[in-house]
């Protein structure tokens, strides 16, 4: 997908919501376990319930590959089921020496046909370039993560006072422009989102951490906004497990609609729509 299509979808749907498809068989409604492929059945219902409110879906690969070949099949069916005009993100957090990254890229961009994949920056430019070589595909590089362990390395400061996450963003933004590179920036790090935005004024941010992890949509919009909106805000558990029982998708739909309404109000207040 091209950047202009993503921006157009945000305007049209008045939403910058990414729904995280982190399917946990212990959490999905029990009746779905009777289907041959419960993961796909669950995802189908989630996608049908949320597709009017979401501009992106992000299956986290961990929840699929733990089931072996059945999980990969469910993942493939899920990506194929997502409407063509909705941005798809493989949350795989990959990255390795160049020739290995090349095959990771082939898996997610060719075999599974995702629009984007999350990549860890630790191994540097040659581990990221093979993903960037694909036309109209995206790398979403981990910059500032939402978890507690982010404090272990990401905030360390060099002799000039630059923090590691700032360095990652400053340096990597030379590898790919805003038409093919985004950054993961956790919603729980409101005091630092502004710094990432200063280091990369044009790139989109994928922002996990609202809902179940306690981050606030308002803070994200205040500190991470750019002229193109520049934000895809992910919610996984907060949406997909909003309902239980046979009609679980009614509450799922409502949860997605509620976040979309908040997002529409933000987009209007910024005069973006
Ligand atoms: O790359 C990610 O998406 C990610 C980065 C990060 O810093 N924090 C984070 O929570 N995530 C992912 O975003 C999703 C968050 O899920 P919920 O907390 O259930 O909304 C999970 O799939 C996480 O793996």
CATH top-level class for 3-269? alpha beta
79 CA → ligand 1 middle, Å: 18
pTM (2 d.p.): 0.98
Residue 41: which of 7, 77, 80 has the closest Cα? 77
Q: Which residues are catalytic?
A: 93
61 CA → ligand 1 middle, Å: 11
Q: ipTM of this predicted complex?
A: 0.98
b/e burial code for range 205-240 (CB count within 10 A of at least 16 → b): bbbbbbbebebebebbbebbbeebbbbbbbbbebbb
* Contact (Cβ atoms closer than 8 angstroms) between residue 42 and residue 50: no
The domain segmentation of the chain, as residue ranges, is: 3-269
**CA–CA gap between residue 56 and residue 189 (Å, rounded):** 22
Q: Which residue bears the tokens 């729509």? A: 273
- pLDDT for 53-90, tens place per residue? 999 999 999 999 999 999 999 999 999 999 999 999 99
The best mutation among 28, 118, 146, 183 to test binding of ligand 1, ranked by most ligand atoms within 8 Å of the C-beta, falls on 146
- pLDDT for 219-251, tens place per residue? 999 999 999 999 999 999 999 999 999 999 999
């Amino acid at each position: 997908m091209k950047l202009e299509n993503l921006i157009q979808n945000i305007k049209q749907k008045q939403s910058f919501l990414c729904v995280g498809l982190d399917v946990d068989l212990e959490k999905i409604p029990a009746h779905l376990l009777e289907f041959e492929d419960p993961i796909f059945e669950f995802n189908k219902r989630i996608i049908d319930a949320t597709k009017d409110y979401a501009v992106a879906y992000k299956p986290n690969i961990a929840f699929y590959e733990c089931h072996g070949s059945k999980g990969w099949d469910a993942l493939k069916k899920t990506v194929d089921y997502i409407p063509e005009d909705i941005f798809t993100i493989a949350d795989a957090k990959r990255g390795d020496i160049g020739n290995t990254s090349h095959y990771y890229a082939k898996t997610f961009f060719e075999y599974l046909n995702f629009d984007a994949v999350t990549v860890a920056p630790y191994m540097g430019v040659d581990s990221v370039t093979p993903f960037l070589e694909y036309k109209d595909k995206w790398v979403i590089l981990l910059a500032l993560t939402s978890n507690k362990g982010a404090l272990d390395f990401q905030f360390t400061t060099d002799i000039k006072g630059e923090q590691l996450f700032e360095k990652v963003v400053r340096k990597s933004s030379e590898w790919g422009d805003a038409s093919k590179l985004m950054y993961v920036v956790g919603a729980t790090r409101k005091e630092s989102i502004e710094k990432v935005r200063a280091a990369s004024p044009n790139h989109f941010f994928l922002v996990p951490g609202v809902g179940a992890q306690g981050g606030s949509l308002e803070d994200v919009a205040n500190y991470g906004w750019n002229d193109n909106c520049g934000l895809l805000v992910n919610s996984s558990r907060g949406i997909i497990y909003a309902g239980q029982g046979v009609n679980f998708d009614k509450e799922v739909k409502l949860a997605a609609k509620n976040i979309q309404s908040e997002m529409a109000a933000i987009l209007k207040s910024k005069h973006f729509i």
